[in-house]
Structure 1
Amino acid sequence: MPDFIEDLGHGIYAIDTGFQRPRFDAAYLMVEAGRAAFIDTGTNFAVPRLLAALDHLGLAREAVDWVIPTHVHLDHAGGVGLLMQQLPQARALVHPRGLRHMVDPKALWLSALSVYGEVEMERSYGKLVPVAADRAQASSDGQVIELAGRPLRLIDAPGHCKHHHAIWDARSQGWFCGDTFGLSYREFDRQLGQNSQAWILPTSTPVQFDPTALKTTVAQLLETGPTAMYLTHYGRVGHDAADVRRLAAGMLALVDGMTQIALALRESPERHRLLKSELLALYLADLVQHQGPFDADRAAEWLAMDVELNAQGLEVWLGQSSKPLVQRVP
């Protein structure tokens, strides 16, 4: 099997999209009785890997029934339109707040272009390709779709952003939760015997972070007693229901810490710089609790982008937005 494909069991495969660095951004391929669905796609540059995964598993392009971005941020959905061109039977299922951006990605493109410039947009994302309106549909809260008889239930999942849904797969007892359940980089795993114990970092990426909504969503996810969470950044986390609850508790404790830091710095003239400094200190202290002594400089390097984005998102949440340095949709 190619090294960018990981078999997670239950007919679920994580595909490393190659975005940013290895094992940073995942798309998922679910296979059931010869039919398939993609959940998140990465950017346009991930599409060859997604198609290669189909080829490796002996699946025709016509075998794909669904393409489901968890939300329409470009590291999750930038490749949807280009991928759909290769999948003649597939339908795109998109949160109702994000559907228009898949059918007409002009706003996504212009927003990102104003931040990155054309050279960087071409390098990181490529031209955004629209999805034909007659091949795209909006999801609804509580909706159940089927993949060859395998039920997948979607719920509205705000907190990270308002155009986010999550997908429950009873077969694997897991949620495909995009960014709602945070980020977990494999570099921070702690080895415990035969298992590894993950660490979760909340993401308050601008512009729609809502800690109250996030807590409500996480509580709803936990109601099903999940034994696994499938994160876009990165991979499956959780060994059993107790481990998933541990991960949720740790993440939400960090959310509380982040919002307390932001509120304390609301009026500071150096708010952004201090936010970044204090967020990094919060995360590094939590990592020490997670895994003991570690290379703090290396960890700070891995976390640098998320510290910047989380600081920006918290500033937007405070209601005193400065221009985001990264593209996000309204």
Structure 2
Amino acid sequence: MTTHDIHTIDTGFVRPCFDAAYLVVEHGRGAFIDCGTNHSVPRMLGALEHAGLTSADVDWLILTHVHLDHAGGAGELIAQLPNARLLVHPRGARHMIDPSALWAGASAVYGEAVMEREYGRLRPIPAERVVEARDGHEVDLAGRILRLLDTPGHARHHNAVHDTRANVCFTGDVFGLSYRDFDTTNGPFILPTTSPVQFDPEALHASIERLLALRPQAMHLTHYGRVDAVDRLAADLHVQIDAMVALARAAHGRPDRHVVLKDSLTDLYAARAEAHGWQQGRDALRQLLGMDIELNAQGLEVWLDR
């Protein structure tokens, strides 16, 4: 889908319409925002061809953050883009130059075999091609300004991207998850996403409000695609962040905390989805959101233990 020369790319990670990257085109120049995994690189290059660009026409690969569903393919993609530089939060830059710690941390959770299968081996990016994007950093894409905004809450190394011409934001994970599977006549359904080590509810509330203050026409989420009705979705996120924190506190200290928290999160999302007009039921919701519920439970537990 293309609006304002913004191309949504399905990276192919996990399932269709689960993980998006974006290509912004202005006067024959391109900037990618996020890139999926190594296995996504052919899709990224295919998007260039579809847009009438070549690999030499790309000036930037901009990462919202370095979690591997957003950035795992960055090294392989940059190697295919002779004129592009990587733009990343200062806290994430070293992990792109030397991804060994990133690989080791993820492998400790998932195992080497799963990492190889799902993400592919991470390729280092030469330091001279990496630019650190501090809060307010601006990219001039053939006269189109893309402004980077430090937006913690999901991760401390998270930037959102404000496209000032289209007046939309590319939100990575800070504006939650909204899969098209849950769309109803009431519009998109949304829920927050924590991360297993850096969830910060107060920072997440503040980051959402910071994006909302820009009065954007739409948000472009990694999971998944463009969503409108920004004010309503932001309100939904605020309510759920508080509800998730309350559920975590209620489960704290229990020996079966993780199981209890996963069940209570499932109940929360199922009730909200039903109220939103989604009629497929709790089991179908668990099938679609199982990975996200697991990660949210882990993120809340790490936050509790901190």
What TM-score, normalized by structure 1, do the two folds share? 0.91
Question: Is 2:211 the partner of 1:221?
Answer: yes
Mean CA deviation greater in 284-293 or 41-50: 284-293
Question: Is 2:77 the partner of 1:83?
Answer: yes
| Letter matched to residue 217 of structure 1 | S
Question: Is 2:130 the partner of 1:136?
Answer: yes
| Letter matched to residue 33 of structure 1 | H
2:107 counterpart residue number: 113
2:9 counterpart residue number: 15
Unmatched 5+ residue regions in structure 2? none
CA positional deviation for 1:293: 3.2
Mean CA deviation greater in 37-46 or 54-63: 54-63
1:244 counterpart residue number: 230
| Letter matched to residue 59 of structure 1 | L
| Letter matched to residue 27 of structure 1 | A
| Letter matched to residue 284 of structure 2 | R
| Number of residue pairs aligned between Structure 1 and Structure 2 | 306
Q: Which SS does the other structure have where 2:165 is aligned?
A: coil
2:188 counterpart residue number: 198
Q: CA RMSD in A?
A: 1.0
CA positional deviation for 1:220: 0.6
Q: After the TM superposition, which residues 263-282 of structure 1 pair with which residues of structure 2 at under 5 Å, given as runs?
A: 263-282=249-268
| Letter matched to residue 72 of structure 1 | V
Question: Is 2:282 the partner of 1:296?
Answer: yes
Cα distance between partner residues in 1 of 2:20 and 2:132: 23
CA positional deviation for 1:249: 0.3
Q: Which SS does the other structure have where 1:108 is aligned?
A: helix
1:138-171 Cα shifts (integer Å, max 9, x gaps)? 0011111110010111110000000000110122
Question: Is 2:53 the partner of 1:59?
Answer: yes
Q: Which SS does the other structure have where 1:128 is aligned?
A: coil
User: Is the 1:172–1:228 contact (alpha carbons within 8 Å) kept by the matching residues of 2?
Assistant: no
| Letter matched to residue 234 of structure 1 | Y
CA positional deviation for 1:82: 0.4
Cα distance between partner residues in 2 of 1:97 and 1:292: 39
2:39 counterpart residue number: 45
| Letter matched to residue 256 of structure 1 | D
Q: Which SS does the other structure have where 1:97 is aligned?
A: helix
Question: Is 2:304 the partner of 1:310?
Answer: no
Cα distance between partner residues in 1 of 2:97 and 2:43: 23
- The runs of 4+ residues in structure 1 deviating greater than 4 Å are none
1:77-133 Cα shifts (integer Å, max 9, x gaps)? 001110000101001000000000000000011112222222211110001001110
User: Is the 1:72–1:101 contact (alpha carbons within 8 Å) kept by the matching residues of 2?
Assistant: yes
User: Is the 2:183–2:278 contact (alpha carbons within 8 Å) kept by the matching residues of 1?
Assistant: no
User: Is the 2:88–2:131 contact (alpha carbons within 8 Å) kept by the matching residues of 1?
Assistant: yes
| Identity across the alignment (%) | 56
Mean CA deviation greater in 166-175 or 21-30: 166-175
Cα distance between partner residues in 1 of 2:15 and 2:144: 33
Cα distance between partner residues in 2 of 1:145 and 1:293: 44
Q: Which SS does the other structure have where 1:191 is aligned?
A: coil
CA positional deviation for 1:292: 5.0
1:29 to 20, 23, 31: 23
1:62-90 Cα shifts (integer Å, max 9, x gaps)? 10000011000000000111000010100
User: Is the 1:94–1:137 contact (alpha carbons within 8 Å) kept by the matching residues of 2?
Assistant: yes
Q: Which SS does the other structure have where 1:308 is aligned?
A: helix
Q: Which SS does the other structure have where 1:190 is aligned?
A: coil
1:326 counterpart residue number: none
Cα distance between partner residues in 1 of 2:111 and 2:254: 31
Q: After the TM superposition, which residues 253-268 of structure 1 pair with which residues of structure 2 at under 5 Å, given as runs?
A: 253-268=239-254
Q: Which SS does the other structure have where 2:155 is aligned?
A: coil
Q: Which SS does the other structure have where 1:288 is aligned?
A: helix
CA positional deviation for 1:184: 0.4
Q: Which SS does the other structure have where 2:276 is aligned?
A: helix
CA positional deviation for 1:176: 0.4
Q: Which SS does the other structure have where 2:152 is aligned?
A: coil
Cα distance between partner residues in 1 of 2:111 and 2:291: 18
